[in-house]
Amino acid sequence: MKRRNSWLLILLLCTRAGYGQELSRYLVLFRDKAGSSYQVSRPEDFLSPRAIARREKQQIGIAASDLPVNASYVGAVKQTGARVLYTTRWFNGAVVDATAAQLEAIRALPFYKGIERDIPLMTPSVSSRILAVSGKLDQAAENIDHGAMTAQMEALGIPSLHAKGIRGEGMLIAVMDAGFSRAPALGYLKAAFDENRIVETFDFVAEDTQVYDNHFHGVNVLSTIAAYQPGVMVGAAFKASFLLYRTENETSETPYEEVTWLIAAERADSLGADIINTSLGYNTFDNPAADYTYEDMDGQTTIISRAARWAARKGIVVVNAAGNSGDLPWRYITAPADVDSVLSVGSVGLNGEKAPNSSVGPAFNGVLKPDVVAVGYGAIIGNDVGSGTVSSGSGTSFAAPQVAGLCALIWQKYPELTARDVVNVVRKSGHQYANPDNFLGYGLPSAAVAEEVVQKEYIVLGSEPAAAGDLLLFPNPVKRELTIRAAAYETGRRASFTVYSTAGARLMGQEKILEQDNRLDVSHLEPGLYFLVLRVQESERIMKFIRE
């Protein structure tokens, strides 16, 4: 169906302004954030508690790049008559619609730094054609009938984690796409809506919250993660929560879509998203002057790749489709799949062979790409027809979200890992990790192998007691009360117990005479990873525990 006609009429009228002067869209960059009313010491003023906690857990400090842009700079830009659509913290700038005269006025502002890529993001003719295209669970561990998705889920070993009760609970995944046509009406997404796990929606192309009257590609992608219709189809992390963002304008291809991705990623970051999944890629545009070359696929040049690098630096796992150009002259992965810290996903069939159209690497700077693969050739997906039925499709678009779901499960089970750890674990779980190539990367990941990697290479505290010398700490994870068991020869000595956050903040402390079993009430702590420091006379021992 067509997007709201009144809004479209206004947009059409606004594409020409000021006695026939044409508007163009630019990303205006500012010199600094001087005079900002925000401070890195008060992140709660501009980041959600979840976003702050994600950084603390991974020991990522709040930086100037997190600060919102200077509001007075934005006000000055508006005074030129230009329209400000969005601001960007990471690039320190604003997206504006401006005439040539307004742009010259902006260039004269003392804080002006430049125009991203020195080109308009969109032409007026493109601006005028933003249209829509029609287009309670049991928590106990149990076996689930994944229906038509069984084979592709088994290829990654996901059903074994589902059977253990690891299903994505507590994980927040941002899905950026071209729209999520009719998502609330689709039976396989009913559980996500009924349980209020669709946290936020926003259309960064049309600047409103409506994402359900656009393209169907987003629901195809989302179904491989979020579907829950046992016996029909069940996705990889069906108990996760989701941010659904439209950043792609399916009727055109312009650099502006890279910028909407940037703005959406910043929004996801501010809300505390753990994972971003994108089944999009950019190298050519409607205007050939804006095209990228293979030399630009170095993970550091394109707008969207630089944005993805920022997201990864903020502790988000970024998963991106490698692209579908493997059988075309271009052949290579597209941005942002070229970023070294992005988990880029290629496509294979159920037989494990590379899909003919799956893009290949390396990135131009020699970085191995894709990183891993999943079943995307003949993948089972949900469609937007009627109440939602089983369909199939081919493309890295449908392989990437399965890997994003696997990342969610791994991170749920091992919350002490950082985003970088999760990416590395998935890579190392690939079936050809010892001999990677630029066709399948490290290969098909395995949930079972990923667990082995975590247990061998990372300090993981599961159901077994944590040990430090002659001390044992249990249960771990813990809900209410920790027990610290000391050796008999240490009892009777004065000891201090201190609990710290991963960011180093002292949260609680206690002094006592050491007994064989020493109990510590931690029920008031928020769920997460903590350090317990035990000092006995001159000795000090540190143990990790998880409050669940």
How far is it, in rounded angstroms, from Cα 423 to Cα 143? Answer: 27
3-state helix, strand, coil in the chain (%, to 5): 30, 25, 45
Q: Which residue intervals of 164-315 are DSSP H helices? A: 190-194, 217-226, 256-271, 303-313
Tens digits of pLDDT across the chain (548 residues):
333 333 222 233 333 344 346 889 999 999 999 988 899 999 999 999 999 999 998 889 999 999 999 999 999 999 999 999 999 999 999 999 999 999 999 999 999 999 999 999 986 443 332 322 222 333 345 689 999 999 999 999 999 999 999 999 999 999 999 999 999 999 999 999 999 999 999 999 999 999 999 999 999 999 999 999 999 999 999 999 999 999 999 999 999 999 999 999 999 999 999 999 999 999 999 999 999 999 999 999 999 999 999 999 999 999 999 999 999 999 999 999 999 999 999 999 999 999 999 999 999 999 999 999 999 999 999 999 999 999 999 999 999 999 999 999 999 999 888 999 999 999 999 999 999 999 999 999 999 999 998 887 774 333 344 444 456 788 888 889 998 887 776 788 888 899 988 767 789 999 888 888 899 999 999 888 888 888 876 666 777 888 88
Structure tokens at 72: 């007075």
Tokens of 165: 């009760």
Residue with tokens 């002094």: 511
Count CB atoms within 10 A of the CB of residue 3.
Answer: 19
Q: Give the residue from 320, 371, 345, 375 showing the smallest Cα distance to 152.
A: 375
For residues 93 and 116, is the Cβ–Cβ distance under 8 A? yes
State whether the Cα torsion 509-510-511-513 is positive or negative.
negative
DSSP 263: H
**Beta carbons of 240 and 169 less than 8 angstroms apart:** yes
| DSSP letter string, 265-300 | HHHHHHHT-SEEEE---BS--SSGGG---GGGTTTT
Alpha helices in 108-230 (DSSP H): 124-127, 150-155, 158-163, 190-194, 217-226
331 contact partners, CB below 8 Å, separation of at least 6: 325, 359, 360
